[in-house]
Structure 1
Amino acid sequence: MVPLACCGGARGCTCTVTAGSGVEVEGSGSTSNPYVVSSTGAVAATGCGLTGDGSTGTPLSAAVRSWPYACDVDDQGGGVYCDSSGVLRSDPPVRQDNFSNAINQVQSPALAVPTVAERTIRQLTLTVTNPDPCRAAHGILFREVDLDFTLPPGAGAMAGIDGDDMNYFANGGDTTVFAVHSQDNKITPFTLNAGETRTITMDIDAGRGSNGATIVRVQATLRAWVYSNPL
């Protein structure tokens, strides 16, 4: 507390000191009993996000609601942080993005189905980026391959994805079968580090070709959905 002498302590001088909100004044203003001004510790008003008046009974604090979830706030609650300019910030928001690439190619002339067990006939690439610069992300990768075969009598052909034989067609009749359609897909997970960009490659495979089997159309699609992980 700071003593306050009225009128500099001059003899016969009188004055009045009025206390404002949150301020207490003690003493009479005389030389022997000067005014003493002190704060009660209370605040006149609070802005957004604060409550209480700073007194012992109602201390100044953050205005918060009750934790409404079944989990424990101590283990699962997010954080509040102060940035370089003194502004309060929460945890970064969860970010997501999606990516796709596709081809649809008529083969002219028709492409002979490889006679070996399996061979890559085309490749498709997709570049994906984790949109979150702070946290790792989960990704879901969808791979689809469609091949159209022409199968003469006794011919056979296999279609696959990334080294995996997906199906095999054979013509056991005595006439050519046109537009034999193979459609295969896979869904697999992957992860990305914070802010990471990665190029994913899909091999379009065919094999076990016999008796003049050919491919007349190649269609393929790569799609990815990427979601960052909340901590």
Structure 2
Amino acid sequence: MISAEIPCSDVRACLSAGPGINLDQATGQISAHLSGQAGNNVSVGPDGGLLVPTAGGQVLTGCGLSGNGSASAPVKANTQAWPYACNVDTFGGGVYCDSQGRLRSEPRGMISFTNYGESRDYNDIPVPAAQNTVIDSFSVTITNPDTCRPAKVFTEREIDVWMVLPAGAGGGTGQGSDEMFYVRNTGTGSMVGVHAQGTKFLTESFTLGPGASAPISLSATAGRGSGGAYYYSIVFLLRAMIISL
């Protein structure tokens, strides 16, 4: 009798593991080779078979997300239609991820408003004859409170020069190169406390960078003084609006 039985050990040498297969040459056990790469969801189920969980049963979405992860309903941002006439590709803002893994929008716009002022008294200084002569200056430093974006600066400036005009005297006051007030006493007695509060609203010619500071100056001027006219007090007022959007 010729026997056809072949020992298992002789057969194992003819077998080799291919892609996705494990082969234990010592025991002859063949099994599936599961990749250890991150994100692999293939596993061995309780019945011994390969298992890929259904995405729709595993993915839970919260605020701002929609879909269940399946091919027909992928997980995506729950957006809405762009309601503006401009193009979203050009004017749409950004969404960013912070160090804690949370979504953040662009920084909010900022508007700040600050008042500065000073009153100065003098020992009866003659009003200069030359028009628009600088008689004193007031300067402040303003700072952009927005550390993210540049800001536009708008200022409202007031200068009030107080004069005394004897009979027949005259004098003018103003800001910078602009004489904003002039009066001449045509009476026979002195005019005391002659003044006008000149106001200007200006857009500054510079833009403040994020968190940057810059000085702003006001120059009080006087001129066309005659007949013993003099000034004794100046009030400076500066209001600054800083806008970053």
TM-score, normalised via structure 2 length: 0.75
The Cα RMSD (Å) is 2.8
Residue 171 (structure 2) pairs with residue 157 (structure 1) = yes
Letter aligned with residue 99 of structure 1: T
Letter aligned with residue 104 of structure 2: R
Unpaired segments of 5 or more residues in structure 1?
A: 4-9, 11-22
Letter aligned with residue 64 of structure 2: G
Deviation track 1:39-69 (CA, whole Å, cap 9, x = no partner) reads: 3332342122211101122110112233233
Identity of aligned residues (%): 37
Q: Secondary structure at the match of 1:75?
A: helix
TM-score, normalised via structure 1 length: 0.79
Q: Where do residues 36-47 of structure 1 align in structure 2 (5 Å cutoff)? A: 36-42=50-56, 43-47=58-62
Q: Where do residues 36-185 of structure 1 align in structure 2 (5 Å cutoff)? A: 36-42=50-56, 43-107=58-122, 109-185=123-199
Structure-2 separation of matches of 1:183 and 1:174 = 25
Q: Secondary structure at the match of 2:162?
A: strand
**Could you list the runs of 4 or more consecutive aligned residues of structure 1 that deviate by over 6 angstroms after TM superposition?**
23-28
Structure-2 separation of matches of 1:28 and 1:118 = 96
Q: Secondary structure at the match of 1:111?
A: strand
Residue 209 (structure 2) pairs with residue 193 (structure 1) = yes
User: Rg: which structure is higher?
Assistant: 2
Residue 197 (structure 2) pairs with residue 203 (structure 1) = no
Number of aligned residue pairs: 208
Q: 1:37 to 1:176 in 2, by over 3 A?
A: same
Structure-2 separation of matches of 1:87 and 1:134 = 19
